[in-house]
Amino acid sequence: MKLPRLVRQIGKRVVKTTPILRRHILTSTDYKVLSGIDEARRAAAASDGWLAARTVARQERAYQTLIADMKNGEPRLDFTVAAEAVMATGIASARLLEVGCGSGYYSEVFADLVPGGVSYTGVDYSEAMIARARSNYPSVTFEVADATRLPYPDDAFDIVFNGVSLMHIIDYQAAIREAARVAGRYCVLHTVPVFDDHQTTYLSKFAYGAPVVEIVFGRRELMSLCRDAGLRLQREWPCIPYDVSEVTGHRSTTETYLFSKDIAR
């Protein structure tokens, strides 16, 4: 039996106005602008964030619904865009490294939405995430690794795919350079939050109940870093809505970028 609309509205209002409920029920909440890189580093060091098993479990529950929708023929926009970006490379059964793979759900997205699939490897700095990924997908290769110091030789993969992890990597400049180094042909930066008219900004928030640091990138800086790393923008796609203007005063969106590697460098 469905609850009356008024009761549901009251329930939502109670959740939003009660910090402990808001932080543990809502996916992302309690955004705060940080003063710069130093405060961002301190905030990241003070939080176990993505390392905590409880965060992994909460994120996984959220994505189980999305995976089920995909299986029923209704994939969310970010899943379809990710598959389109991989297919746009034109590489059949590409050797693909996902940096920041979390609990490994994108291995299933690519298997379902990319014709012929990919030869997938996933890495994440969180041991709890990798443990869950290995449990969920025992036939897939997962490793614990730092995005800023990837344990692979130059040009080891056809495609390096960074899903929603770049926005949580404080040393994102190094992560971009490492992605470009390990990629033999293409890099995909997926669902990246960007400002068109504002500088890169550091935020703190609660994600799946855990305090984390998040970065919304100034588009100009992001494109400059990618060019300096030897990456050339080939295509871009608008992705799922993500507007933090309420706390920053500047509208943000998310974009997915496909870069080719400048092999002449």
- What would the mean pLDDT of 68-92 be, rounded to a whole number? 97
Mean pLDDT of 101-109: 95
Q: pLDDT category, 108, cuts 50, 70, 90?
A: very high
Considering the entire predicted model, what is its pTM?
0.87
pLDDT at 7 > cutoff 70: no
CB atoms within 10 A of CB 249: 10
Identify the pLDDT of residue 12: 40
Residue 265 — very low, low, confident or very high, per pLDDT cuts 50/70/90?
low
Cα angle: 115, vertex 118, 122; to 5 degrees? 140
**Domain ranges, ordered by start, for the chain:** 28-261
**pLDDT for 39-52, tens place per residue?**
998 888 877 666 67
CATH class belonging to 28-261: alpha beta
Residue 239 class from Cβ within 10 Å (0-12 exposed, 13-18 middle, 19+ buried)?
A: buried
Read off the pLDDT band of 25 (50, 70, 90).
very low
What pLDDT is recorded for position 200? 97
* pLDDT digits 0-9 by tens, 194-236: 999 999 999 988 876 778 889 999 999 999 999 999 999 999 9
Quote the pLDDT of residue 208. Answer: 67
Task: Flag whether pLDDT at 8 surpasses 50.
Answer: no
Separation between Cα atoms, residue 177 and residue 58, nearest integer Å: 31
pLDDT tens digits, residue range 140-172?
999 999 999 999 999 999 999 998 899 999 999
First to last CA, the chain: 64
- Mean pLDDT (whole number) for 91-113: 96
- Under 8 Å between Cβ of 203 and 137: no
Average pLDDT over every residue of 78-102: 97
The pair phi, psi for residue 233, each rounded to 5°, is -70, 125
Q: Is the pLDDT of residue 9 over 50?
A: no
